[in-house]
Amino acid sequence: MRIGRSVFSIIGAPALVMTAAGTAFAAQPLPWQTGFQPAVTPIAERVAAFNDLLVPLIVAVTIFVMILLGYVMVKFRRSANPNPSKTTHNALLEVVWTVIPIIILIVIAIPSFRLLYFIDKVPDDVGLTVKVVGHQWYWTYEYQDHKFSFDANLDEKAKPRLLETDNRVVLPVNTTVRLLLTADDVIHAWTVPAFGMKFDTVPGRLVETWVNVKKEGVYYGQCSELCGARHSKMPIAVEVVSKEKFTAWVADAKKKFATGPDTTPAIATAAVSE
Amino acid sequence: MNAQSHAHGAHDHTPSGWRRYVYSTNHKDIGTMYIVFGLIGGLAGGILSMLMRIELAEPGPGILGGDDQIFNVFVSAHGLIMVFFLVMPTFIGGFGNWMIPMMIGAPDMAFPRMNNISFWLLIPSAILLYASPFVGDGPGTGWTVYAPLSTSGHPGPAVDMVIFALHLAGASSILGAINFITTIFNMRAPGMTLHKMPLFVWALLITAFLLLLSLPVLAGAITMLLTDRNFGTAFFDAAKGGDPVLYQHLFWFFGHPEVYILILPAFGVISMVIPTFCHKPIFGYLGMVYAMIAIGVIGFVVWAHHMYTAGMPINARAYFVAATMVIAVPTGIKIFSWIATMWGGSIEFKVPMLWSIGLIFLFTVGGVTGVVLANAGIDYALHDTYYVVAHFHYVLSMGALFGIFAGFYYWIGKMCGRQYNEAFGQIHFWLTFIGVNITFFPQHFLGVAGMPRRIADYPDALAGWNLVSSLGSYLSGVAALWFLFVLWHTMTRGEKCADNPWGEGANSLEWTVPSPAPFHTFEHVPTIRSSAGGH
Ligand SMILES: [Cu+2]
């Protein structure tokens, strides 16, 4: 179910964000949703496509087992079949139900590995690097190319409740953004469902991943690794804007966050994983 | 029916009073204590889950005030209790103790006194775990007790209590595992070759090996947690050169075999129940045995599929994807072999059979979502969401728990001498079946929509499916109360159970002795009939 939602209202959003009526698109959970949030990155599109392969397969397997069970329950109930057979072996059958699952798994595995390695390889055309640091219980975003950083705390008053932050992460559209993820107290996990990705932010490790958002809008996520007393209260709000607006935002942000927090993690010897 | 199983009683020398239990070296009495212990654990863990679903029934602060710490103390206690104090004691200590010696024609377990200490170690373990939520802020770490949240994140003594509880429960299980392995290898009656053993015995044997090989690793990991917390070591402290991810590797090296420790005994139970009620030997006995062995072996080399998002080398992730998917093959062999056992049978839909069919179907549902989650590429999206919660409750709440109920209804007549009421048992099955499906199926939707696990409050848009899920859990709660009634009714009003109430389909040795099984099972070495496994 890919439902866009156009009821996002700029009212109540942080003043720093200068997007006007242009920002109509927002990705967040919707009532009675049964599918993924809309896919807005190449990764999320491939995850959705892979899911579109998996769901029919697993539904078919489940229905097949259900039909088999239903059939034997009706056909071989005591009243219909009072004299049970004594069959306990059928070599052909046993080979078949070993081989067919293997074939199904290979059909799954090939696109699965392709997707896995696609996600892992950060494209060469990185246009922006943002370092994300998880804390109990907020995120710090460090724009390393532009030498400023800021904290993003839950905005208790704003709607959507539990998803909006006082400062949003602003990213340019159609740009490969390298994300460097770490934490300085306990493990958190940074995710935006519409981006199709999630990685733990682990103290002492620096995980590299990437996003390239194809659509302007606001995207929400929540910390996804149990991190203590306010785990449900450290959301992620990403606003994706045109490149021009991004440049203007950077100029403003440099002034506004001139005395931003020092985000160098306490751990000086951060090991690079991967 | 064997003639030698009569004329008990006069020579029994059954101890009486509290000594019978506290000093017990009898596998049946110890088994009964384990089952009672498991029942208490199930009720405690069930009450916790009910409170969590009440909190989550509506967005905003609920009965727990929307407080993540309190909520996650509940989450942690619920998980630990259900794993260590419901499923493991009921299956292994309870049904295993009761049935294994009888099924292989042994007089008792190999080490009766070790059997006693195995059970009694669980009592201080339970006291520590049940008390830990009331100490300080409680252990809000999840059952995984991940560092550094469990080290620097939880200063009070609550997490230390959890660690000691796990040490004791682990020691108890290791002793139990040694006892089962020794008993099964050395005390089989003449003629009871390994390939004639009932599948429940095989399931427990493989489970015992998994326990023996995985629990020491858990013990090591939590000891390192303990010294990190209290003695200044830094195994998992990045600031001092440690690595939090190391803890995850150690934990899941135990944790993944643990999920097979929980489910293999259920496979064993329904492999007894299905042939009984189909009046037909199990299909593909050897395939079933080697599928379980394969699951046990592969179960040791897939642990890091719980850690795809933790930052492992890419080729390691690819390996764990491949290895994890391989487990689907032996699991599929088991599912199809059960169905093939039913094929051509003469099926009676008695209560144990209903639980078994329910297990086959719902375990399949949980299994296919497991195949989805095995793929790291899509697991990045689903990891730590309610999709995972739905998945593992389908394989545990519906897999392991359905296996427990199948075994309970199958053996209760043998254990207490009174048979359950068929209609009451069927009501219990249907209430539970409908309840757990309403509870857990919508959680798949919450997961793909992006709802994280282990949160006390959630965005308002997720209210709908959460309410459905909570309503389902209330129905499951009613089912649990109904089960207590069934239990009471069976114990006090149940009809006298025949030695073999199920007829010719039930051909393992426990059905050759009187109901309830006498204090000392066999006065003569029993004769093994042609086949327990259908050769
Ligand atoms: Cu967090």
Tell me the per-residue pLDDT of B405-431, one tens digit each, with 9 for 90 and over: 999 999 999 999 999 999 999 999 999
Per-residue pLDDT tens digits for B111-150:
999 999 999 999 999 999 999 999 999 999 999 999 999 9
Q: What confidence score (pLDDT) does residue A267 get?
A: 44
This model's pTM is above 0.90: yes
Q: Categorize the per-residue pLDDT at A272 as very low, low, confident or very high, splitting at 50, 70 and 90.
A: very low
Q: Fill in the amino acid letter for B83.
A: V
Catalytic annotation on B280? no
Tell me whether residues B153 and A58 touch, CB distance under 8 A: no
Catalytic annotation on B305? yes
Determine which one of B5, B32, B76, B173 is catalytic: B173
Could you tell me which of B284, B280, B288 has the C-alpha nearest to residue B264?
A: B288
Mean per-residue pLDDT over chain B, rounded: 94
C-alpha A187 – ligand 1 centre gap (Å): 7
Q: Fill in the amino acid letter for A34.
A: T
Segment among A21-25, B399-403, B438-442 with least mean pLDDT: A21-25
Determine which one of B334, B383, B414, B428 is catalytic: B334
Determine which one of B53, B196, B256, B350 is catalytic: B256
Per-residue pLDDT tens digits for B314-358:
999 999 999 999 999 999 999 999 999 999 999 999 999 999 999
Q: What confidence score (pLDDT) does residue B526 get?
A: 84
C-alpha A266 – ligand 1 centre gap (Å): 17
Catalytic annotation on B271? yes
- Mean predicted confidence (pLDDT) in B235-239: 95
Q: Token pair for residue B187?
A: 């005390």
Q: What confidence score (pLDDT) does residue B512 get?
A: 92
Residue B474 CB neighbour total at 10 angstroms:
16
Tell how strand A176-183 and strand B495-496 pair up: unpaired
Q: What confidence score (pLDDT) does residue A260 get?
A: 52
* Torsion of Cα atoms, B511 then B513 then B518 then B521, to 10°: -100
CB B321 within 8 A of CB A112: yes
Could you tell me which of B110, B271, B87, B295 has the C-alpha nearest to residue B197?
A: B271
- Mean predicted confidence (pLDDT) in B470-477: 97
- Mean predicted confidence (pLDDT) in B212-225: 97
Tell me whether residues A113 and B445 touch, CB distance under 8 A: no
Residue B278: strand, helix, or coil: helix
Q: What confidence score (pLDDT) does residue B525 get?
A: 81
Burial B104-128, CB ≥16 within 10 A → b, else e: bbbebbbbeeebbebbbbbeebbeb
Q: What confidence score (pLDDT) does residue B311 get?
A: 85
* A85 Rama class: left (phi>0) / alpha (psi -120 to 50) / beta: beta
Tell me phi and psi for residue A130, to 5 degrees.
-125, 130
Q: Categorize the per-residue pLDDT at B521 as very low, low, confident or very high, splitting at 50, 70 and 90.
A: confident
Q: Categorize the per-residue pLDDT at B527 as very low, low, confident or very high, splitting at 50, 70 and 90.
A: confident
CB B388 within 8 A of CB B447: yes
- pLDDT over 70 percentage in chain A: 85
Residues in B closer than 8 angstroms to A50, CB to CB, are: 375, 377-378
Catalytic annotation on B20? no
Catalytic annotation on B334? yes
C-alpha A185 – ligand 1 centre gap (Å): 10
Per-residue pLDDT tens digits for A215-226:
999 999 999 999
ipTM of the complex: 0.91
B9 pLDDT more than 70: no
Residue B273 CA to residue B239 CA, distance in Å, equals 54
B68's CB contacts (< 8 A; 6+ apart) are: A228, A229, A230, A231, A232, A233, B140, B454, B455, B456, B457
Tell me whether residues A85 and B339 touch, CB distance under 8 A: no
DSSP A243-264: HHHHHHHHHHHHHHTTT-----
Could you tell me which of B110, B133, B117, B126 has the C-alpha nearest to residue B22?
A: B117
First to last CA, chain A: 34
In this complex, the residue of B318, B364, B384 whose CB is nearest that of residue A113 is B318
Catalytic annotation on B167? no
Q: Categorize the per-residue pLDDT at B15 as very low, low, confident or very high, splitting at 50, 70 and 90.
A: confident
In this complex, the residue of B152, B369, B377 whose CB is nearest that of residue A47 is B377
Q: What separation in angstroms does the CA of B63 have from each of B52, B385, B439, B464?
A: 9, 22, 19, 18
Dihedral sign, CA of B41, B44, B48, B50? positive
- Mean predicted confidence (pLDDT) in B201-211: 98
What count of CB pairs under 8 Å joins A to B? 296
The verdict on whether omega for the bond into residue B265 sits within 30 degrees of 0, i.e. cis, is: no
Residue B474 CA to residue A23 CA, distance in Å, equals 42
C-alpha B159 – ligand 1 centre gap (Å): 19
- Mean predicted confidence (pLDDT) in B19-37: 95
Q: What confidence score (pLDDT) does residue A24 get?
A: 60
Residue B427 CA to residue B456 CA, distance in Å, equals 33
